[in-house]
Structure 1
Amino acid sequence: MTSNRSVGIDLRALRKNRGLTVTEMSALIGRSIGFISQIERGLSQPSINDLRKIAAVFGVPISFFFSESAAHPSEARHIVRRDDRRSLGTPAGGVVDQLLSPDLGGSFETLLSEFAPHSELVDAVQRGTEEAGYVISGTLEIEISGVWHELRQGDSFRFVGEPYRWRNRTDAPAILVWVIAPPVY
């Protein structure tokens, strides 16, 4: 598992990004307010069972909390090496995101998103975010405010607070860099 401090930083960022108070978080996982506070400050380490509950609340795999980075201390807060990326989301949803940022803190998050062949987000999502993306490879169709757009390698997009959904109707994955502000993970 990553250090107590790293787990705490990620927990605080996830909680704040979702607009949850420490009190609400403690109720959701059945632990005390003080315990949540200690985790966030790097003073306590959650159990595997606690991490399962936390992961479920935020919709991230439990493995998110177990990434061991071989990063040199001078890189730890600034650089993410290819083999050290943390996965968010699950293949069952048709998209797997890898966190390109060193942690979940900050005013935006940068993701490498892989959309599986023949996958689709059926119901439109609308959140109070600004989102932008760049297609590295493949083809992805994205509907923004009721209008479908086909994006291919080298294309990009941006929208602010508008309903959107996506689909990949091809036999190949679509890979995008996706930036979201404020963070949603």
Structure 2
Amino acid sequence: MSDLTPHSASLGADIRALRKSRGLTLADLAETLGRSVGWISQVERDLSAPSITDLRQIAAALDVPVSILFGRAAAPVEEAGHVVRRTARRPIGSNAAGLVEELLSPDLTDDFEMVHSTFAPHSRIGEMVTRATQEVGYIVSGRLDLVIGENRFSLAAGDSFRIRGEPFEWINPYDEPAVAIWVIAPPVY
């Protein structure tokens, strides 16, 4: 399997997990896509391989970047579903505003996802974001400012934080990149 193979053993499970985390039924997603419930069910059970166009439409309906639906580098059978090697992380997010995100979790089938985030120097999301999630993060290196609700926090390596469905914004006004590990429940990517 190549790095960009759009179908993997967990593609259907990832689509199912994303659909459920958004409170959508099979019928809801089928209606949005103009497809049958049976087709969606087959995709979720890995019995039907969606085309690239299908994947784009599914990603749009689930409000995720299409890259999250692409497979990861091949892993030895004994590691699949358990270990994610540094070279096999799936890129997620839009890479907008100077943020590069990679999925550390093997897939999206858990009640949470773990994300490696790198914030470029002098970058900013530029708007408050509110998600129906609980998020905990740990600053691995660098410094990062977070606005959570009405409060602004300056965080450094070793600091951690929690966001519970509150509006937040990240800002890296510093000269070095900041690296953080985020745990997000339920998965949003």
TM-score (norm 2): 0.89
> How far apart are residue 82 of structure 1 and its match?
0.6
Task: Report the residue type matching 2:178 in the other structure.
Answer: A
Which residue in 2 is equivalent to 1:110? 114
**Using a 3 Å threshold, how does the CA distance of structure 1 residues 175 and 70 change in structure 2: closer, same or farther?**
same
Q: Is contact 1:59–1:89 with CA below 8 Å preserved after alignment?
A: no
Q: Secondary structure at the match of 1:165?
A: strand
Which residue in 1 is equivalent to 2:158? 154
Q: 2:175 matched to 1:183?
A: no
How many residues align? The count is: 185
Comparing 158-167 with 44-53, greater Cα deviation is found at 158-167
Task: Report the residue type matching 2:139 in the other structure.
Answer: V
Which whole-Å CA distance do the structure 2 matches of 1:171 and 1:60 have between them? Answer: 30
Which residue in 2 is equivalent to 1:171? 175
Q: Secondary structure at the match of 1:136?
A: strand
Q: Is contact 1:140–1:166 with CA below 8 Å preserved after alignment?
A: yes
> How far apart are residue 84 of structure 1 and its match?
0.7
Render the CA deviation track for 1:17-38: whole Å, top value 9, x for unaligned.
Answer: 1222212212222222111110
**Structure 2: gaps spanning 5 or more residues:** none
**Using a 3 Å threshold, how does the CA distance of structure 1 residues 25 and 102 change in structure 2: closer, same or farther?**
same
List structure 1 runs of 4+ shifted beyond 6 angstroms.
none
Q: Is contact 2:142–2:157 with CA below 8 Å preserved after alignment?
A: yes
Q: Is contact 1:4–1:45 with CA below 8 Å preserved after alignment?
A: no
TM-score (norm 1): 0.90
Which whole-Å CA distance do the structure 2 matches of 1:4 and 1:136 have between them? Answer: 31
Q: Secondary structure at the match of 1:80?
A: coil
Which residue in 2 is equivalent to 1:41? 45
- From 85, 88, 94, the equivalent of 2:89 is 85
Which residue in 2 is equivalent to 1:124? 128
CA RMSD of aligned residues (A): 1.8
Q: 2:11 matched to 1:10?
A: no
Q: Is contact 1:117–1:174 with CA below 8 Å preserved after alignment?
A: yes
Q: 2:35 matched to 1:21?
A: no
Q: Is contact 2:12–2:46 with CA below 8 Å preserved after alignment?
A: yes
Q: Is contact 2:137–2:182 with CA below 8 Å preserved after alignment?
A: yes
> How far apart are residue 120 of structure 1 and its match?
1.7
